[in-house]
Amino acid sequence: MSKVTNIIVAGLGGQGVLKGTDILADVALRAGYDVKKSEIKGMSQRGGSVTGDVRFGKHVFSPMVSAGEADFLLVLEPTQVEPHRYMLRPNGVLITPDAVSASQLPNKKTLNVALLGALSAHLPMTEEQWLAALRAGFAETFFEGNQKAFLIGREGQKAKG
Amino acid sequence: MNESNRLLLSGDEAIALAARHAGVALGAGYPGTPSTEILEHFSELGGHAQWSPNEKVALEVTIGAAFGGARALCTMKHVGLNVASDPLFTAAYTGVSGALIVVSADDPGMASSQNEQDNRRYAVAAGLPMLEPSDSQEAYDFMFAAIEISERWQIPVLFRVTTRVCHSYTVVQPRATHEAPKAASFERDIRGRVMIPAYARPAHRRLRKKLAEMQAWNEASPLNHIVQGGQSLGIITSGISFMHVREAAPEARVLKLGFTHPLPMDKIAQFVKGVSRCVVIEEGDPYLVDAIRAAGIPVEGKADMYRFGELDVPRVQRILANDLSPEPIKPPGKPPQLCDACQYRVVFEALRKHDCIVAGDIGCYTLGVLQPFEAMDSCVCMGASLGVGLGLRHVLPPDQARRVVSVIGDSTFMHSGISGLVEMVYNPPPTGHVLIILDNSTTAMTGHQEHPGTGRTLAHEPTNKVVLEDLARSLGIRRVYVIEPRMGTGEFDRLLTECLESNELAVIITRRPCILIAKQLKQYEDQRCECDAAQPATASAP
């Protein structure tokens, strides 16, 4: 993959947007890519919009995804889909909470990781690399629930093809 | 590249790691987005890091450390350097014995700031060398270079970063080995360190001589480099703009400046001669382009419309294409708001009900300006609520003056509200004045840092505590009240009414810990109690 892959994760403060981009960037690093991650988090804890950009490839320059250039847009909150749709490139992939069935998740806090699971079905990193990044990103007590959520998202997306 | 040695770090974390690896003995600062994580991370890595009451004190503490021969790091956001500018300008004259790195984290586009000032101007105004990294690897590497420059020329170095360098995570390969700095030791240098006019005059000449030497050295410095490319387009750039440039114009020849004051003008002139068109790409003020043109070198700059906000790849493409058409407007996101259980909600509801004229300040509570409250009439800078409120009281007709209230948070009060309170006591308006200190026991907006009023250090360890109400009473203010605004029904409202009608000076401290960290605060308090029982605080010893 010589082209840079552009991903945007969007949601509201407190939803785990930045945790999601942490794990995404870590798994790309583990897979040997050059990675850049950019976030605006000054007011993230006050319920406002939060977005994180992750770019990976052979060599990445700007840390920011340009408008209309996102290959993937992952949105954790339905109201945040429209405000961020302009970032997606034509034929880019939009992943929303609909990608997983909420009732299956261990708890609603794991939605960010479940959607990463759905995203993972489109990306070249291996399941082992993803699980290693999850293990590094969460305390032992939270790992199991997040692993479960991740696999629910991943299998669900694969089933859809 | 050794795979196991690749770290994904933010610019802030990279600065902290380099500071640790370079043996920085003391880091001091005041929290401010996007600089806050530098000292937090430095502390987590085992470094000695402190929050000062404000940036001026932080800079003075680190000047002292550097006078003592140590390597010192001072961190702040761009507007913090305004507060610290007084010691900054004269420290350029005195110089230092060890190393002093002053990090200014600028916020072009104002992700969370009240202005987008460009602090590269401070390097020129104070006469300080300035480095500008473009990513985390450079943030790490440039810290070592900054220390080397600081020690070689015995001068503070301005380390200028921006939001996208501070808060972007990029790959860093740290150095394998680290040389320990020499031990701190005081060497008397009265003429060099005591800036009475007789000693300051030669000190100014010494400063200009150092700058001339640094400029000559900078001509061949590895901190600036050329990315080869075609002759038709040359770009001169620095900082994060370099990354956007490489993507927007991969075919261009690029002069990437890392050491941006004093500028290597011969190198720049040489570069410009070698290309048919040369454009300067920089975020914010036309700092580089003005300096280069003033040196008689013909370069293009950007149109004025690109002076506002951050640059990105599409904007750089537009600048290169001389595109002056209106830019696409981004759809608005959801603005932040006061938490549902926040004590400030009660305060702003009351202020709105009484139609108060509210001189506000900087913190979470600035959100009181938004709906549904819209109960704030000014917000200028840290601590301004007091002075602005008092000024309004002095000139407004009495029926309006009696409705003026100053509102400030606990951390902001510690930062620069105390001198405003002294002003209130010294020059009381005829109608009195009402100050509300919103005390949530933390610096909430920047991510819950400690301050002198919490009684805990940067690392959340117990220390001496400045008690707001004791401080206010010690100044002779009779009406000092502490209230939990969410308790009872209408009690805060009644107290506010009484104070507004009193025509006296009043301080109302509304105290309730920030809901977001209530759990941590309880833990810290429990630790504090255990510690208090074991050993008395030093400040209360006779």
- Of B171, B244, B445, nearest to A62 by CB-CB distance is B244
| Shortest Cα distance, chain B CAs vs residue A127, angstroms | 19
Choosing among 3.40.920.10, 3.30.930.10, 3.40.50.1100, 3.40.190.10, the CATH entry for A5-160 is 3.40.920.10
pTM of the model: 0.95
Between the two ends of chain B, the Cα-to-Cα distance in Å is 59
Give residue-wise pLDDT tens across range A12-54.
Answer: 988 999 999 999 999 999 999 999 999 876 555 677 888 999 9
- Non-local CB neighbours of B106 within 8 Å, separated by 6+ positions: B77, B78, B116, B117, B118, B119, B160, B161, B162, B163, B284
> Contact A48/B334, CB-based, under 8 Å?
yes
Token pair of B442 as six digits: 């933390």
Using an 8 Å CB-CB cutoff, list residues of chain A that contact chain B: 12-13, 25-26, 29, 32, 34-43, 45-49, 51, 60-64, 66-67, 79-80, 82-84, 86
Q: Give the integer Cα–Cα distance in Å for B179 and B169.
A: 26
B169 has a chain A CB within 8 A of its CB: yes
Chain B partners within 8 Å of A63 (Cβ)? 135, 164, 168-170, 240, 243
Beta bridge partners of B78: none
- Non-local CB neighbours of B114 within 8 Å, separated by 6+ positions: B79, B362, B379, B380, B381
Pairs of CB atoms within 8 A across A/B:
102
Q: Quick one: CATH architecture of B3-218? A: 3-Layer(aba) Sandwich (3.40)
Residue pair B255/B223 in contact (Cβ under 8 Å)? The answer is no
Which one of A3, A29, A61 makes the best mutation probe of the B interface by having the most chain B beta carbons within 10 Å? A61
- Of A32, A36, A47, nearest to B336 by CB-CB distance is A47
Choosing among 3.40.50.2300, 3.40.50.920, 2.70.70.10, 3.30.160.150, the CATH entry for B225-320 is 3.40.50.920
**Nearest residue of B to residue A49, measured between CA atoms:** B334
Residue pair B140/B106 in contact (Cβ under 8 Å)? The answer is no
The one-letter amino acid at B522:
K
Residue pair B35/B80 in contact (Cβ under 8 Å)? The answer is yes
Instruction: Output the pLDDT for position B377.
Output: 98
What is the CB neighbour count within 10 angstroms for residue B422?
Answer: 12
> How far is CA B314 from its chain centroid?
29
B330 has a chain A CB within 8 A of its CB: yes
**Window 418-447 of B, Cβ < 8 Å to A:** 445, 447
- Of A25, A45, A84, nearest to B169 by CB-CB distance is A25
Question: In terms of Cα–Cα distance, which of B382, B289, B324, B314 is closest to B31?
Answer: B382
pLDDT along chain B (542 residues), means of 10: 77 98 98 97 98 98 98 98 98 98 96 94 98 98 98 98 97 91 95 98 98 98 97 98 98 98 98 98 98 98 97 98 95 86 94 97 93 95 98 98 98 98 98 98 93 97 97 98 92 97 98 90 77 56 41
Chain A partners within 8 Å of B367 (Cβ)? 46
The one-letter amino acid at A136:
A
Let me know if B181 is exposed, middle or buried by CB neighbors in 10 A (0-12, 13-18, 19+).
Answer: middle
- DSSP-derived pairing of the beta strands B357-359 and B49-51: unpaired
Q: Give the integer Cα–Cα distance in Å for A68 and B343.
A: 42
What is the homologous superfamily of the domain B344-540 according to CATH? Thiamin diphosphate (ThDP)-binding fold, Pyr/PP domains (3.40.50.970)
Give residue-wise pLDDT tens across range A71-121.
Answer: 999 999 999 999 999 999 999 999 999 999 888 998 889 999 999 999 999
Q: Is the alpha carbon torsion for A110, A113, A119, A124 positive or negative?
A: negative
CA angle B105/B106/B110 to nearest 5° reads 130
- Of A36, A49, A80, nearest to B168 by CB-CB distance is A36
Interface confidence (ipTM) of the complex: 0.93
